[in-house]
Amino acid sequence: MAFRKKAELILAHNPDIVVISECENPEKLKFPDGIQLPNQILWYGTNPHKGLGVFSYSDYRFQLLDCHNPNFKNILPIVVTGGKIDFTLFAIWANNPEDKDGQYITQVWKAINYYQDLIKETKTILIGDFNSNTIWDKPRREGNHTTVVSALGDKNIFSTYHKYFNQVQGKEEHPTLYLYRHENKPYHLDYCFASNDFIETLESVEIGNYQDWTSLSDHKPLIIKFNI
């Protein structure tokens, strides 16, 4: 929350695109003087204090596709144009309490099946807070974390973090969240899945550390750089 107060630290990393969960709507985004303003903001949400924001600090431009299904309200299919490459971006904040069948990873599972023709083996990125990890798999639930990873893998779409650090799902060495900001409660819940053409250009993956970011959020930034 309160991205307006944290943008300066994110901008120190010179991002092209930033995806922010629990983001206030654009009317409330009053950035401090001297802070670089985004060239475009795409925001979606029903709570003006907590939505999903996608920011361009480059030539990239966003268009939310008409096929967006409000049943998966915080999983946004976006066409990205204007930069070095055009691609489809799914900005994700897996959090929909209205879905009694499963408000977190089940939302992602339903969405990737609904958008299966849009999620292609090239020029595709899914990124954000999935609120999930394979350690919480319920074996009898079809739409658990492992089945989501497998379904994306069938389309040659893989987690950039796991590829870069050669990690196994559920055994991640680098947490993206510390529950209630407690250092002894680390979890890996945030992901960037990318099609193999992006994976082949993957230059670096970085996760913010506990000391630098805990005063700002329980989540840590996931920073991915592609050499395109």
Domains in the chain, please, with CATH?
58-226 (3.60.10.10)
What is the C-alpha to C-alpha distance for residues 220 and 20, in angstroms, rounded to an integer? Answer: 11
**Residue for token digits 């070095």?**
84
Residue numbers in the chain where pLDDT is lower than 50: none
- The whole-number pLDDT of residue 182 equals 94
Question: How many helices and strands (H and E) does the chain possess?
Answer: 6, 13
Smallest Cα–Cα separation from 34: which of 61, 1, 7, 2? 7
* Rounded CA separation 160/154 (Å): 15
CA distances from 102 to 14, 94, 113, 227 (A): 36, 10, 15, 36
DSSP secondary structure code for residue 35 in this structure: P
Q: Which residue has the tokens 């066409």?
A: 79
- pLDDT score for 111: 96
Position 142 scores a pLDDT of 81
Which tokens is 31 given? Answer: 């950035």
Q: Which amino acid, residue 63? A: Q
Structure tokens at 82: 């204007």
pLDDT at position 98 is 81
**Stated pTM of the model:** 0.96
pLDDT confidence of residue 73: 86
Please give the structure tokens belonging to residue 67. Answer: 């096929």
pLDDT single digits (tens) 68-122 = 999 988 999 999 999 999 999 999 999 887 887 777 899 999 999 999 999 999 9
Q: How does pLDDT run across 61-78, given as a tens digit for each residue? A: 999 999 999 998 899 999
Location of structure tokens 């990239």? 60
In the chain, the N- to C-terminal Cα span, in Å, equals 31
